[in-house]
A and B are shown apart, each in its own frame.
Chain A
Amino acid sequence: MPDLPDAGTCYELLARMTLIRRFEEEAGRQYQRAKAGGFLHLAIGEEATIVGTTSVMRDEDYLIGTYRTHGHAIARGTDPERVMSELFGRVGGTSGGRGGSMHIFDREKRFMGGYGIVGGNLPIAAGLALSSEYKGEDAVTVCMFGDGASNTGNFGETMNLAALWRLPVFFLVENNLYGMGTSVERHSAQTDLSKKAEGYGIPGERIDGMDVVAVREAVAEGIREAREERRPTLLEAFTYRYRGHSAADPEVYREREEVEEWRRKDPIEAFARRCVEAGVLGEREVEEVREKAEQRVTAAVAAADESPEPALDSLYENLYVVEEAGGWYAVDERSPEPHRGEREEEEMPEAARELAEAGAAYGGQPDGPRPEGRPNPARQGDAQEGVEPEVSGEVEEPDVAEEVEER
């Protein structure tokens, strides 16, 4: 077992993991209260893989991930307030409410997204690494993806390109054993994912993704090889999500015992215990970390609640970068007026505004129940979590059959 780092680092690792855990639990709760919509993919159980990775990255390095990346952004230093606001679809969100849970992005922290297409981030990671290489910069791109993404064409294409061009990129597959509801044994002929890029010239290694110290050491070495030797490698971190794939997951594909078994290896509890037993941290500090996380997440929910909903006038904002508008960039079928780009956003015609407001009204009141006929998918998932949905009596009972899950 690798040695513990210094006390300050241990405290920071524990604090980040605890904050992410608490954030995700709260996100799930807010989803059940219908404050957050769409799909919600929680990373509870995967904190050590996330924090172990980001803790050995430099500020200038890029991180790019999947649709399960609330924690990745927070680990990179994004304010939880901004992530929660994004889940709430508010202007204070990381993407001003444009992206939602699956598309968190924070340029300043070099967290380069949150992508909803499985494997879609891999080629982009190669491109980011190419930009660093091209400009003679030292930055490394850390590309994280799930076990399911290792079956996409992008995986093979990107591994080949990264090795061929010796790009400063490091790949980490967060193997949580399931591509949505299909286990690795059922979705990948080669179940040792660390071997899947060998044929492309990218060596791999498997580690315990529940051990934050082990993750740190392995990732640090991978980043070093990418930075100093321009040698991309692939790390397979075994981890586990306690919750369903998304909040709308009935979890028919795994046994309760399996979840319980992994819970006993909980990365946060195990690390805290180890730190205390080694005398690096005291019980009081562990408790302090929990309290601080609780306070921060409470603040995040308050901030998200207070943040306004996006203005209807902003509907076409940031669709195009327009310096000098010529021609029609976008057409709004609800008004006879053309959109020539951002510059004209203030001049949204009255007729279009009225219709936009009429449409927006279907979104319902932010604090009220969902409109009739729209079941809350939160109500059918996470059965094993034992979380009692905190919903008011006005909320409709869900119709399970109507919910269609993405992968």
Chain B
Amino acid sequence: MTTLRMREALRDAMAEEMRRDEAVFVMGEDVGVFQGAFKVTEGLLEEFGERRVRDTPISENTIVGAGVGAAIGGLRPVVELMTVNFALLALDQIVNHAAAIPYMFNGQARVPLVVRMPGGGGHQLGPTHSHSLEALFLQVPGLLVACPSTPADGKALLKAAIRDDNPVIFIEHESLYGTRGEVADDGEAEPLSFGEAAVRREGGDVTIVGLLKMAHVAEDAARALAHEHGVEAEVIDPRTLRPLDLDTILASVRKTNRAVIVEEGWPHGGVGANLATLITEQAFDHLDAPVQRVTGADVHMPYAKRLEQAAIPHEEHVVRAALAALEGSI
């Protein structure tokens, strides 16, 4: 085990898979000479050269589309889009092509493509650079969606994503790139399977599901709930949204009878909206309270620090939602 920052863990995942498999290569805007806008691809050009670490023009739809074509042709491209927001320029290739091709050509073509993209707010980047679009990608059948919150998961999931034969949307959070954690070295552990949630904290009173940065906010809230309110929350990080480890979430809800879902994205049609429906459909008889959602504000991310922070979920919001779910029982 080694202690690494998230960005280093992700870099190691790519480097290890590139050493393991010649078919794996990286392309994207400024991933080479510049070393990545967020320095995630640092050092890759030096080790693997321009053939396998390819700087691209600013042409998102074509970068992803070239990735689709290369994947159909037998390679395993890892495409970096500089931010989640820019993925909107590539939605045609992501939705109409990468996701649809295996199905519409009846399995004659596979698209083992990974599209990495960082998102999330908190850095005063304003309305066009702070999106959390997990729900948008989650909605598309044919895509897998990963959203790691720790360096260990980041590395393990990225390795699994690269080895997977399905197109994977790999969402990173800009605020987590610098966080440190223990990470398995090459060969020490098998890559994490998609569809395995992590129970970050056990508890019997309320289930809190949080993803990406909100997985950490959920844990902070759980500690506050324990210290200040005597409430034991169970915290679950789904780690991947497709496939979704709904079984682990349902098992927890059946135990606690209450659920709070925390995400940074918009509320309408969000990850929480979807998950709340699934929980209601699958575990209605076990619920003692309506499922609570904590989401980003239903606005475009404002620039001013005060407003931006007001638009992002914090520990207090989660605590309040958990207490609302518990109202009458404590």
Residue of B nearest to A99 (CB): B104
Q: Tell me the B100-157 residues at the A interface (CB within 8 Å).
A: 101-110, 141-142, 144
Is the Cβ of A135 less than 8 Å from the Cβ of B193? Answer: no
Known contacts A134-B70, A326-B195; is A123 also within 8 Å of B106 by CB? no
Cβ contacts A310-353/B at 8 Å (1 or 0 each): 00000001111101111111110000101011000000000000
Stretch binding the partner chain, chosen from A153-161, A220-228, A241-249, A274-282: A153-161
Contacts of B106 in A (CB 8 A): 94-96, 98-99, 105, 317-318
Contacts of B92 in A (CB 8 A): 117, 120
Is the Cβ of A95 less than 8 Å from the Cβ of B193? Answer: no
Contacts of A336 in B (CB 8 A): 281-282
Is the Cβ of B70 less than 8 Å from the Cβ of A131? Answer: yes
Is the Cβ of A319 less than 8 Å from the Cβ of B103? Answer: yes
Q: Tell me the A55-109 residues at the B interface (CB within 8 Å).
A: 62, 94-96, 98-99, 103, 105-107
Q: Tell me the A278-303 residues at the B interface (CB within 8 Å).
A: none
Interface size on B, residues (CB 8 A): 56
Is the Cβ of A134 less than 8 Å from the Cβ of B75? Answer: yes
Q: Select one of B51, B57, B103, B244 contacting A157, CB under 8 A.
A: B57
Is the Cβ of A318 less than 8 Å from the Cβ of B243? Answer: no
Is the Cβ of A329 less than 8 Å from the Cβ of B242? Answer: yes
Is the Cβ of B194 less than 8 Å from the Cβ of A327? Answer: yes
- Complex: A131 Cα to B193 Cα, angstroms: 27
Is the Cβ of B166 less than 8 Å from the Cβ of A320? Answer: yes
Q: How many Å from the CB of B193 to the closest CB on chain A? A: 5
Q: How many Å from the CB of B108 to the closest CB on chain A? A: 4
Is the Cβ of B68 less than 8 Å from the Cβ of A123? Answer: yes
What range describes how many residues of A lie at the interface? 35 or more
Residue of B nearest to A329 (CB): B243
Is the Cβ of B246 less than 8 Å from the Cβ of A327? Answer: yes
Is the Cβ of B108 less than 8 Å from the Cβ of A105? Answer: yes
Residue of A nearest to B164 (CB): A321
- Interface presence of A132 (CB below 8 A): yes
Is the Cβ of B57 less than 8 Å from the Cβ of A164? Answer: yes
Residue of B nearest to A310 (CB): B106
- Interface presence of B225 (CB below 8 A): no
Residue of A nearest to B27 (CB): A130
- Interface presence of A391 (CB below 8 A): no
Q: Tell me the B216-264 residues at the A interface (CB within 8 Å).
A: 240, 242-247
Contacts of B309 in A (CB 8 A): none
- Complex: A123 Cα to B75 Cα, angstroms: 15
- Interface presence of A113 (CB below 8 A): yes
Contacts of B66 in A (CB 8 A): 123-124, 126-127, 130, 158, 161
Is the Cβ of A120 less than 8 Å from the Cβ of B108? Answer: no
Q: Select one of B59, B93, B110, B195 contacting A327, CB under 8 A.
A: B195
Contacts of A112 in B (CB 8 A): 72, 109
Q: How many Å from the CB of B276 to the closest CB on chain A? A: 14
- Complex: A341 Cα to B141 Cα, angstroms: 11
Q: Select one of B101, B108, B193, B244 contacting A328, CB under 8 A.
A: B244
Contacts of A160 in B (CB 8 A): 57, 59
Contacts of A318 in B (CB 8 A): 102-103, 106-107
- Interface presence of B175 (CB below 8 A): no
- Interface presence of A128 (CB below 8 A): yes
Q: Select one of B70, B96, B109 contacting A120, CB under 8 A.
A: B96
- Interface presence of B69 (CB below 8 A): yes
Q: How many Å from the CB of B60 to the closest CB on chain A? A: 9
Is the Cβ of B142 less than 8 Å from the Cβ of A161? Answer: no
Q: How many Å from the CB of A152 to the closest CB on chain B? A: 9
- Complex: A160 Cα to B59 Cα, angstroms: 9
Contacts of B247 in A (CB 8 A): 327
Residue of B nearest to A135 (CB): B74
- Interface presence of A115 (CB below 8 A): yes
- Interface presence of B214 (CB below 8 A): no
- Interface presence of A237 (CB below 8 A): no
Known contacts A157-B62, A160-B59; is A326 also within 8 Å of B193 by CB? yes
- Complex: A141 Cα to B73 Cα, angstroms: 11
Is the Cβ of A338 less than 8 Å from the Cβ of B69? Answer: no
- Interface presence of A122 (CB below 8 A): yes
- Complex: A134 Cα to B22 Cα, angstroms: 10
Is the Cβ of A326 less than 8 Å from the Cβ of B243? Answer: yes
**Chain B contact residues, CB within 8 Å of chain A:** 25, 51, 54, 56-57, 59, 61-75, 77, 92-93, 96-97, 101-110, 141-142, 144, 164-166, 193-196, 240, 242-247, 278, 281-282
Instruction: Give 6 new A-B contacts, CB below 8 A, not counting A106-B108, A124-B93.
Output: A62-B73, A128-B72, A131-B74, A161-B62, A320-B144, A327-B195
9 smallest A-B Cβ distances: which pairs? A127-B69, A327-B195, A123-B65, A131-B73, A327-B243, A326-B195, A157-B62, A157-B59, A318-B107
A–B pairs, 17, beta carbons within 8 Å: A96-B106, A99-B105, A105-B104, A105-B108, A113-B109, A116-B96, A120-B96, A123-B61, A124-B65, A125-B69, A127-B73, A134-B70, A134-B75, A153-B61, A318-B102, A319-B103, A328-B242
